[in-house]
């Protein structure tokens, strides 16, 4: 009897888009809100290959409660979830003007 082997399959994760370098000022679309003071911006016009560069943007001069990290076993500070939800309702899908400092 001969042993049959099946070709090995590799499972790869979809690659995350590379973070873009933002110009000093401009317009961008809010893709995601990570916390009450950190958002992900994307360029409203995509590249010819269909990709959209993303930029992690932290708002300055905002004191916001921190969200916990499940892997580290830390809990949310009081008001962290409410701050994130408020920002999500206000910004997701909207074009915003930004300035890098």
pLDDT digits (tens, 9 = 90+) for 9-60: 555 555 665 666 677 888 999 999 999 999 999 987 766 676 678 889 888 8
Q: Is residue 101 part of a domain?
A: no
Q: Is the entire prediction scored with pTM above 0.85? A: no
Strand ranges for the chain from DSSP E = 25-35, 38-42, 54-58, 95-99
Q: Is residue 55 part of a domain?
A: yes
User: What are the phi and psi torsion angles at 17 (to 5°)?
Assistant: -65, 145
Domain that holds residue 30: 25-96
Task: Provide the domain count of the chain.
Answer: 1
- Nearest residue to 20 via CA among 91, 85, 98, 94: 98
Q: Which two tokens stand for residue 2?
A: 């001969």
Class of residue 75 by CB neighbours under 10 A (exposed 0-12, middle 13-18, buried 19+): exposed
């Amino acid at each position: 009897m001969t042993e049959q082997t099946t070709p090995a399959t590799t499972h790869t994760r979809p690659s995350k888009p590379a973070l873009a370098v933002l110009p000093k000022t401009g317009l961008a679309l809010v893709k995601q809100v990570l916390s009450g003071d950190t958002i992900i911006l994307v360029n409203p016009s995509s590249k010819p290959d269909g990709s959209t560069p993303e930029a992690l943007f932290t708002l300055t001069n905002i004191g916001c409660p921190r969200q916990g990290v499940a892997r580290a076993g830390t809990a949310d500070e009081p008001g962290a979830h409410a701050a994130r939800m408020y920002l999500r309702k206000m910004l997701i899908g909207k074009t915003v003007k930004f300035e890098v400092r």
